[in-house]
């Protein structure tokens, strides 16, 4: 990289199905210069999250899609490289939304200063960031687990699912995770402390999940959809709650009806018969609760009750391939791109897990 230029990854074309490398393009341009009231941010860490796949489609959604030629969007942890803003000094570390690029201008709105001496700054993109808050808010406001109930979460080794199960246990519920492969299952059970975990790749997945939930399922935190949803649905108890957070198994499908029989009538029959609550949500709906989340989550981390794992890849140019892998479940933990070296590292600033 030429240090005098800003590198950014833009959307080159809209994908059909799973994104491909040619859907992205790396461009270089002059590093922007902040004007009065502005600051220049240098990206340290870039968050890669499944929701970004939806932004690549030109379809109506809860947020505007990324335009062709525009920088791919994403949450970032950045360092203030230059400032003409009274509220920020050079060297400040902030949580921002600068997207897939090395440098970005900001007017200071929607930035949050971080204290890198307390926790690794990358956690502001994971366990203490949007994924962690999504888990906390969805479980608290929609799932509402009671002591002794069974909470099942899909993608249990991921950034959201791993937090869901741990909070369920903190709340006194029984946590059952669904993950893919023996390594992820072992991590969920042995390191995160879930009561049980089931491998969705197992040929007898349905039987194993039923065995792990002998009293049925009271809360199902949906991150995946597809065959996982089909397997969970018959096990839902009367009055079960289903926070619908994501459907990663379906994000790469073309926007048309999937082949096969239409089962909507059967699903709705059981929704009625069992008095089920299915509630889709976007974490920003609960933004006023974020300070409470941070207080609780930081204390749980300090107490050792909330653990996390980060999957860190190096270099902005690695983002497209890492994102494609994410959509296929090849990451292990919260996926973060380290864009620039973090200075003054110490052992306390290394990813845990």
pLDDT digits (tens, 9 = 90+) for 164-173: 999 999 999 9
Same domain, 111 and 177: no
Last residue within a domain, chosen from 277, 300, 323: 300
Same domain, 146 and 109: no
The parent domain of residue 257 ranges over: 130-290+294-300
The rounded mean pLDDT for the chain is 91
Percent of residues, the chain, with pLDDT higher than 70: 93
The CATH number linked to 88 is 3.90.180.10
On whether residue 305 sits in a domain, the answer given is no
Res 81 pLDDT > 60:
yes
What's the pLDDT score for residue 349? 25
| Beta bridge mates, 280 | 244
Same domain, 169 and 33: no
Same domain, 268 and 339: no
Res 100 pLDDT > 90:
yes
Q: 177-199 pLDDT, tens per residue?
A: 999 999 999 999 999 999 999 99
Q: 43-52 pLDDT, tens per residue?
A: 999 999 999 9
Same domain, 274 and 135: yes
For 272, half-sphere exposure in the C-beta direction (CA atoms, 13 angstrom radius) is 6
What is the torsional sign of CA 99, 102, 106, 108? positive
Percent of residues, the chain, with pLDDT higher than 90: 82
Res 350 pLDDT > 60:
no
Please report which confidence band the pLDDT of residue 255 belongs to, taking 50, 70 and 90 as the band edges.
low
Same domain, 117 and 192: no
Same domain, 245 and 324: no
- C-alpha span between 350 and 353 (Å, rounded): 10
The number of folded domains in the chain is: 2
Please report which confidence band the pLDDT of residue 266 belongs to, taking 50, 70 and 90 as the band edges.
confident
What's the pLDDT score for residue 170? 98
What's the pLDDT score for residue 352? 30
What mean pLDDT is predicted for residues 212-222?
A: 98
| Residues sharing a CB contact under 8 Å with residue 7, sequence separation 6 or more, in sequence order | 1, 26, 27, 28, 101, 102, 316, 317
| Beta bridge mates, 77 | 45, 95
What mean pLDDT is predicted for residues 316-334?
A: 94
What's the pLDDT score for residue 343? 56
- C-alpha span between 276 and 269 (Å, rounded): 10
On whether residue 326 sits in a domain, the answer given is yes
């Amino acid at each position: 990289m030429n240090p005098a230029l800003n590198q950014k990854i833009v959307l080159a074309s809209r994908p059909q199905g799973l994104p491909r490398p040619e859907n992205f393009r790396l461009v270089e341009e002059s590093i922007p210069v902040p004007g009065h009231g502005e600051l220049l941010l240098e990206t340290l860490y870039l968050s890669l999250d499944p929701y970004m796949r939806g932004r690549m489609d030109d379809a109506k959604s809860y947020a505007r899609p990324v335009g062709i030629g525009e920088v791919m969007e994403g949450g970032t942890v950045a360092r203030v490289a230059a400032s003409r803003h009274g509220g920020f000094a050079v060297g400040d570390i902030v949580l921002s939304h600068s997207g897939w690029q090395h440098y970005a201008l900001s007017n200071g709105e929607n930035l949050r200063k971080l204290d890198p001496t307390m926790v690794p700054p990358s956690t502001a993109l994971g366990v203490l960031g949007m994924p962690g808050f999504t888990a906390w808010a969805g479980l608290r406001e929609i799932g509402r687990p009671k002591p002794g109930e069974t909470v099942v979460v899909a993608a249990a080794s991921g950034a959201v699912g791993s937090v869901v199960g741990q909070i369920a246990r903190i709340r006194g519920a029984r946590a059952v995770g669904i993950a893919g492969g023996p390594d992820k299952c072992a991590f969920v059970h042995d390191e995160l402390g879930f009561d049980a975990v089931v491998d969705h790749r197992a040929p007898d997945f349905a039987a194993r999940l039923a065995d792990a939930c002998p009293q049925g399922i009271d809360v199902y935190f949906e991150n995946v959809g597809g065959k996982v949803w089909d397997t969970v649905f018959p096990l839902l108890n009367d009055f079960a709650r289903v926070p619908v957070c994501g459907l990663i198994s379906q994000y790469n499908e073309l926007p048309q009806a999937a082949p096969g029989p239409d089962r909507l009538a059967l699903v709705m029959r059981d929704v009625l018969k069992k008095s089920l609550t299915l509630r889709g949500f976007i974490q920003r709906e609960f933004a006023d609760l974020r300070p409470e989340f941070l207080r609780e989550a930081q204390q749980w981390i300090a107490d050792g009750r909330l653990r996390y794992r980060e999957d860190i890849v190096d270099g902005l140019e690695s983002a497209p391939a890492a994102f494609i892998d994410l959509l296929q479940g090849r990451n292990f933990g919260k996926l973060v791109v380290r864009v620039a070296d973090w200075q003054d590292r110490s052992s306390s600033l290394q990813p845990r897990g």
